[in-house]
């Protein structure tokens, strides 16, 4: 989680991450369903970006996105953007997080088409 200090462009970047987390929270709150699945561009946890160069980790996701996933007990979350991370991880509340970036899926599952088939628990 990058903090809002220093120059204006960094503060703007952090502001965008905060806004993204608020939009996620609002969207999850509006769902009147028995199960929720979150589809994100950026990773909500560090685990699925590990393997990427450490100097770009703050630009591959934000732990600000994790809290709404935990609070609304989503079934699982999907994200892309981190092409050299890990295919699976878990939030601090044990919610599965899947990195489904196509280059990563092609690399990790070379003998199958680059997609994941996931079952939403009932």
Interacting residues with Fe ion (CB under 5 A): 81
Q: How far is the CB of 81 from Fe ion (least distance, A)?
A: 4
Contact in structure between 76 and 43 (CB atoms under 8 Å): no
- Token code pair at residue 27: 């969207």
Of 75 and 85, the one with the shorter C-beta distance to Fe ion is 85
Q: How far is the CB of 4 from Fe ion (least distance, A)?
A: 22
Of 64 and 81, the one with the shorter C-beta distance to Fe ion is 81
**What would you measure as the largest C-alpha separation in the chain, in angstroms?**
47
Of 36 and 81, the one with the shorter C-beta distance to Fe ion is 81
Q: How far is the CB of 80 from Fe ion (least distance, A)?
A: 6
- Token code pair at residue 29: 């709150």
Strands 88-90 and 76-79: unpaired
| Residues in the chain, overall count | 122
Q: Which residue is nearest to Fe ion (CB)?
A: 81
């Amino acid at each position: 989680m990058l903090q809002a200090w220093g120059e204006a462009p960094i503060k703007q970047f952090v502001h965008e991450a905060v806004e993204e987390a608020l939009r996620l929270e609002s969207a999850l709150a509006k769902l009147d369903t028995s199960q929720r699945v979150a589809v994100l561009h950026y990773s909500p946890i560090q685990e699925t970006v590990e393997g990427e160069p450490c100097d770009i980790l703050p630009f591959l996701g934000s732990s600000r996105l994790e809290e709404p996933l935990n609070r609304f007990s989503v079934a699982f979350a999907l994200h892309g953007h981190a092409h050299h991370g890990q295919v699976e991880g878990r939030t601090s509340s044990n919610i599965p997080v899947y990195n489904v970036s196509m280059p990563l899926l092609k690399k990790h599952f070379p003998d199958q088409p680059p997609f994941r088939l996931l079952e939403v628990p009932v």
